[in-house]
Structure 1
Amino acid sequence: MEKEACRKAGILKPNLTLHKLRHTCLTLLLKEGVDLCTLKELAGHQTIRTTVVYTHVTQKEIREAVKKLPLD
Structure 2
Amino acid sequence: MARVWTDEQRQRQRELIQRTQPWRKSTGPVTAAGKAVSSQNATVHGFCSNRVRVRLRDTMRVMKQVKREIKLYGLEF
Considering the TM-score relative to the shorter chain, is it more than 0.5? no
Which protein shows a greater Rg? 2
Which fold has the larger relative contact order, with Cα–Cα distance below 8 Å and residues 6 or more apart in sequence?
Answer: 1
| Higher share in helix | 2
